């Protein structure tokens, strides 16, 4: 880890364990799910200490400041030292994931694959 220098945004996201593969991090950046200092990022954009990154992953928002540049994809404890997350987005993410969990609890339950009647119930629920 170093506090000087820069690294491509797709590599930084992969090294800091936001994505399992570098291809997935590149796809997220290309798809417009990543912003650096408020502007849309491209995979080749360089990240340096002090940059603000906004990310949407699995429909959940992340916002953090870069504190260090990792030299490798190491353990999670090591990668968490490379960024400082915004408390407001952590709270917002917890609220969103709780509401998603609540929605899933209200869905009709089946053992395995839904049958014809359960699929109809699911479709009706989606229309309301």
Q: How many Å apart are CA 74 and CA 126, to the nearest integer?
A: 42
| Exposed/middle/buried for residue 77 (C-beta within 10 Å: 0-12, 13-18, 19+) | exposed
Q: Per-residue pLDDT tens for 77-127?
A: 999 999 999 999 999 999 988 888 877 777 766 677 888 888 888 788 766
Record the tokens describing residue 18, joined without a space: 């936001």
For the segment(s) 7-127, the CATH number from 3.20.20.60, 3.30.450.20, 3.10.290.10, 1.10.8.60 is: 3.10.290.10
* 3, pLDDT greater than 80: no
The whole-model pTM stands at 0.77
Long-range contacts of 51-55 (CB under 8 A, 24+ apart): 53/9, 53/83, 55/13, 55/18, 55/28
Neighbours of 48 (CB within 10 A): 14
Q: Per-residue pLDDT tens for 43-70?
A: 999 999 999 999 999 889 999 999 999 9
Domain ranges of the chain: 7-127
Q: Are 52 and 65 in contact (CB under 8 A)?
A: yes
pLDDT at 108 (0 to 100): 66
Q: How far is CA 98 from CA 58, 60, 64, 106, in A?
A: 14, 11, 21, 13
pLDDT at 102 (0 to 100): 79
């Amino acid at each position: 880890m170093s506090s000087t220098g820069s690294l491509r945004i797709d590599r930084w996201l992969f090294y800091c364990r936001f994505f399992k593969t570098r291809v997935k991090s590149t796809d997220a950046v290309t798809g417009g799910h990543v912003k650096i200092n408020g502007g849309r990022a491209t995979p080749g954009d360089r990240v340096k200490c002090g940059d603000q990154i906004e990310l949407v992953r699995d429909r959940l928002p992340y916002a953090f400041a870069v504190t260090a540049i990792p030299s490798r994809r190491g353990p999670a404890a090591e990668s968490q030292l490379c960024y400082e997350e915004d408390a407001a987005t952590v709270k917002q993410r917890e609220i969103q994931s709780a509401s998603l969990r609540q929605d899933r609890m209200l869905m009709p339950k089946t053992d395995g694959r839904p049958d014809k009647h359960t699929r109809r119930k699911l479709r009706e629920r989606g229309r309301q």
